[in-house]
Amino acid sequence: MTSSPKPRRVVVVGAGIFGASSALHLARLGLDVTIVNDGAPANGASGRSLSWLNSARREDTPYFRLRMAGIDRYRTLAATRPETAAWLRFDGGLTWDADDEANQIASICQLEQSIGYDAILLGRAEVAAVTPGVNAGAITQQGAIFNPGEGWVDLPSLIDLLLSEFRARGGKLIQDAGLVRIDIGGGRACGVVTAHGMKIDADAVLLAVGPATPTMLAEIGVHVPDATPISLLLKTKPVKSALRAVLNTPRVAVRPTPDGAFVLDSAWSEEEVIVNSDGTHTVHDETVQGLLDEASAVLEGNPRLQLASYGVGPKPIPGDGEPVLGAIETIAGIYVTFSHSGATLGLIAGELLAREIASGNPHPMLASFRLHRFG
């Protein structure tokens, strides 16, 4: 890939974690940046994310290394901004598998240790001393992996922080823009047009629209394979618990929140969501209660968990499961960020994309994640 002309004005479509992070990094580089969003910031996938910061269960690949760089940026943020302490935590992650022939805990722990990913294999009796708040009886006989370097982030809080600095640097945020289309002229992107007919001129456009990415790209003749499923994230009412780590268990994932509650998700509960013909979703009471019960079962003392709220909607995942990041080669001036790992990659992807856009030079860490890999 060759270099592109350096832009002065950039429009970022989307105000989730990728959009907010990229826009701020572009503003820090001195560019004139406008964010357009269909609604308030974090109103999409970023607002219903488990937000587990990790690179677990992965071989040493470019994706693993990009995720590790992502975690590094969060550690820098935590060290330099003490106000993040309530919603950016590194209290580790605990993972165990089902008690069947597919259980890979021992081999996964060996893999993680072999590539330098901090991992400790714990028996049931050892868990309480390492990470309290877990019902040891729920852990399978093969044991659990504790990853001390993992953590979690509350993405709406992070997005608020990023947008605050973005505005202070002169960045513009347009909310309630409706469905935006990319304006193409002379074979390249020249801005966007909002649903209300407002045209915003730009030298480059970054799509950070999560699950809407394949549709928006298809409108300009660009195809990206899509494996986007429906996600369901439950938030409980606050409950007394010693748990601080993120739990990834066979039937439920559990993450603490800044206000003393938990957020929960699972693969099985997402499969029970009904997608209606009008695009809305139906979540059955039995699904909600089942997820609450599964979470209670893995927590020490099996506390009674009550539903506070839930979020449901598409979870962005490209066709091969790995991110799509960087320039669209077939139309100049268009960049994209489309990935499941929004929380872990949020800061680093925004930083690298901003450097690529501002300089006109492809960033080498994004080489494996170009759209052209799909042919």
Contact 265, 50 (CB under 8 A): yes
Alpha-carbon gap, residue 197 to 177, rounded angstroms: 9
User: Which residue stretches of the chain are H helix?
Assistant: 17-28, 62-80, 105-114, 124-130, 155-168, 213-218, 267-271, 285-298, 342-359
Residue 300 three-state SS: coil
Handedness of CA 315, 320, 321, 324 (dihedral sign): negative
* Of the candidates 368, 323, 329, the residue with the CA atom closest to the CA atom of residue 349: 323
What are the b/e assignments for 275-302, b being 16+ CB within 10 Å?
eeeeeeeebeeebbebbbebbbebbbee
Strand partners, 192: 182, 200
Strand partners, 33: 10
How do residues 295-312 score in pLDDT, each as one tens digit?
Answer: 999 999 999 999 999 999
Both tokens of 2, joined, read 């060759």
Q: Can you give the pLDDT at residue 5?
A: 73
Domains and CATH numbers, the chain: 9-47+155-226+319-374 (3.50.50.60), 90-150+227-314 (3.30.9.10)
**Cβ contacts of 170 within 8 Å, gap of 6 or more:** 27, 32
Whether this model's pTM surpasses 0.85: yes
For tokens 């994004």, the residue is 366
Alpha-carbon gap, residue 129 to 93, rounded angstroms: 14
First to last CA, the chain: 15
Alpha-carbon gap, residue 133 to 115, rounded angstroms: 29
**Cβ contacts of 45 within 8 Å, gap of 6 or more:** 16, 210, 211, 231, 313, 314, 315, 316, 342
Mean pLDDT per 10-residue section of the chain, whose length is 375 residues: 78 98 98 98 97 98 98 98 97 98 98 98 98 98 98 98 98 96 96 97 98 97 97 98 98 98 98 96 98 98 98 97 97 97 97 97 97 94
Q: Can you give the pLDDT at residue 6?
A: 86
Q: Let me know if 145 is exposed, middle or buried by CB neighbors in 10 A (0-12, 13-18, 19+).
A: buried
Q: Can you give the pLDDT at residue 1?
A: 54
Contact 16, 42 (CB under 8 A): yes
Contact 33, 359 (CB under 8 A): no
**Cβ contacts of 35 within 8 Å, gap of 6 or more:** 11, 12, 13, 14, 15, 19, 20, 23, 163, 166, 171, 172, 173, 174
